[in-house]
Chain A
């Protein structure tokens, strides 16, 4: 009864448009008060409010966000995309395929899906429109390619999962590599099928000589530097993954400085914007904690997990149910809030079913990627909409083929967990 009341209150507050963090904090706090009185409520409010922020491990989130800001300022993402366009040449739908490659490349240095979508939208989208691509196709591929940043290391979502699930962040990151490549290939194949079915939706590209192709590579080096700053320092033992996030932000700042794009104004903008985004994420974490403690205290999470775990179905069926639940949540909710709210509940069940927590982290993030491009709350589609000024419905339809392709990828990784687990398993072989 109390639980339904609190859930109902949360739904109402979300519908009227109160910020997600406040909606969760308010409904959770009212629930805690009604369940245990003022002592319980104050105990939780006065501990969790500080604990949601005062952790060294959390710096990866603001540092990667800051890095993305500096990368956008420096313009080096634009150069990466141009090079990819030159290399695909005359291929029909080539620029759309290059967008997927550029998304993977940018994803290798950026941990934020929406930052990546914004970067791609401001670089590849104008080029596709200029060449006469159908806006639906162009917008769809940009929105979905942005999500690669969430899967290919470094990834804010995987780091958050690692913190929540208490599993090795570096193993999680490595585990994202092969799925990231698979999703990239899936996007390219989807584009190939689309332009084969509807040749008018994408024109033939322009041919380039080998010399032009090689010359285009010249401007790739800043991205390589940044890539090395992240992966090289971790691999060589100079820094831990947490520290590498700080180094990456610093190197990105130096690159922006070298490109003569960093001004006091742009620096202030980058820092303030990163602080606000970090604050937004941590505030949702705080709200989700208050809400989550109410659930824990009332034993709902335990009962739910026990109930799902005891369902008389084979593990694969229960897993399918859980993933469908994630896809449905992804329609309406922010991906970070989904991770924080659900992982502590689902992970014990998943492990009880015999699945690997690293595998589950990658699967959940791939599933969360779908939420970035499905209506009504599809953050990446909103970003693309801002650049194209096209109707939202058209963009959501444009991304739909990629959603189907994504579902096939999720099914593949569920049936063959080794696709995810093989690479991290090689890490301990020393």
Chain B
């Protein structure tokens, strides 16, 4: 995914968005490292000292996994990390492809925004009612909803950029949208399955 051949972002707004997405994915990466370290410490604590963390199960499942997933969403889309079937795409006439992708990303805005809206409603409820998972160390449930809202909101913005790019390409006949490079030379997902 790191073999990125996109043209550089050419507007301050896009640069700011990319910076924000990089910051989000940095938190996601840190959460990934935290999962690894907590698991190691938890196993060592249980095996050597009979003292596992009682909170690790919920903290990893509820907070860290959601951070890894939602905060990496926009950065992964921006770098074409969400795999697509790109075999037929290159056989289509360019205008058809751009129109199809503009409509596809447009519909994606609708779905992702609904997910964000639903997450926001549940965040507000969890926050107002001070909801916790009942455990020795109670775990707040507003955290995952907040992560969901941030990650999906940023993903909506990235989808908007894609829609604009594909519409502009459609109108001008030039490639103004970021497209994944063709399979032979380009960005290969190194870790699928």
Contact = CB atoms under 8 A, between A and B. Distances in A.
Direct contact of A and B (CB under 8 A): yes
Contacts of A59: 35, 39, 60, 65
Contact of A17 (B33, B86, B114, B121): B86
Interface string B85-116: 11111001000110011001101101110110
Interface string B38-71: 1110110001000000000100111001101110
A18 B118 contact: no
Given A17-B84, A19-B82, A238-B47, A383 B89 contact: no
Name the residue among A58, A118, A271 with the largest chain B CB count within 10 angstroms: A271
Interface stretch (A61-69, A170-178, A351-359, A407-415): A61-69
A190 B127 CA distance: 61
A279 B68 contact: yes
Contacts, number: 262
A30 B107 contact: yes
A247 B43 contact: yes
A280 B36 contact: no
Contacts of B189: 114, 277, 280, 379
Nearest to B92: A16
Interface in B16-35: 25-26, 28-33, 35
B124 interface: no
A382 interface: yes
B53 to A, nearest CB: 12
B132 to A, nearest CB: 15
A118 B190 contact: yes
B152 to A, nearest CB: 8
A59 to B, nearest CB: 6
A249 B97 CA distance: 41
B153 interface: no
A275 B190 contact: no
Given A16-B89, A18-B84, A18-B105, A25 B32 contact: no
B140 interface: no
B65 A55 contact: yes
B193 interface: yes
B193 A50 contact: no
A56 B108 CA distance: 28
A385 B184 CA distance: 6
Q: Is the interface of B mostly helix, strand, loop or mixed?
A: helix
Contact of A20 (B2, B40, B84, B191): B84
Interface stretch (A318-326, A331-339, A420-428): A331-339
Interface stretch (A7-15, A80-88, A299-307): A7-15
A419 interface: no
Band of interface residues on B: 35 or more
Contacts of A296: none
A332 B85 CA distance: 8
B18 to A, nearest CB: 14
Contacts of B183: 382, 385, 392
A293 interface: no
A32 to B, nearest CB: 10
Contacts of B40: 246-247, 250
A41 interface: yes
A150 B193 contact: yes
Interface string A376-387: 110100110110
B192 interface: yes
B157 interface: no
A372 B110 CA distance: 33
B188 A118 contact: yes
Contacts of B30: 271
Contact of B25 (A249, A276, A281): A276
Contacts of B170: none
Given A62-B32, A246-B38, A274-B29, 6 more contacts: A14-B88, A22-B104, A112-B191, A277-B191, A375-B87, A382-B188
5 contacts: A16-B96, A17-B179, A52-B69, A114-B188, A379-B193
